[in-house]
Amino acid sequence: MKKRAVYPGTFDPVTYGHVDLIKRAARIFDEVIVAVAKNAEKSPLFSTEERIDMLSRATSGINGVVLDSFDELMVDYVQKKNCNVVIRGLRMISDFEYEFQMALTNRKLNKDIEVIFMMPKESYSFLSSKLTKEMALYDANLSEFVPPFVAEKLNEKTRELKKRAGR
């Protein structure tokens, strides 16, 4: 029987921190379903399709990775995938409170689903998609934070945003 886990997230955009967790999870599980949340409340910069495309390119050399998207409660999605393990990344202590609250809430919704917290490599422990987008707005060098094709897409999007804002 395959050991499977779901790694849900917005991935707006995928960073080297995400890729690090996916690689490490793929060493533990036979299959890692990287599930892109369509969460419109977060107002993603990239469409679901763009995020899946970037993830596809970023994870192309990692065995056992399956890409998908979802627009429902995470526990419902995980159950539909006949899975009982969810991977969540913890960067800094500030992530812990939110993730712990979510894990306990999800346990109330479905006691059969286990949440495993993984920490990225130290060099990515501060990195977030939000910070990456902010850096892109100010034309920072993104080479240490995201794959080159993601940096290119980020730069395109931020140029569009700046143009619309008259900057």
In the annotation, is 42 catalytic? yes
The answer to whether residue 133 is catalytic is no
CA–CA distance, 143 with 66 (Å, rounded to integer): 25
In 3D space, the residue among 72, 98, 90, 81 whose CA is nearest the CA of residue 6 turns out to be 81
Q: Tell me if residue 47 is catalytic.
A: no
Number of H helices, E strands in the chain: 6, 5
Catalytic residue among 3, 27, 42, 57: 42
Long-range contacts of 142-149 (CB under 8 A, 24+ apart): 144/16, 145/15, 145/16, 146/13, 146/14, 146/15, 146/16, 147/14, 147/16, 147/19, 147/54, 147/57, 147/58, 149/54, 149/57
Q: Which is catalytic among the residues 23, 38, 81, 91?
A: 91
Closest by alpha carbon to 136, among 116, 150, 120?
A: 150
Active-site residue identified among 4, 51, 88, 129: 129
Q: What is the 8-class DSSP label of residue 146?
A: S
Active site residues: 18, 42, 91, 129
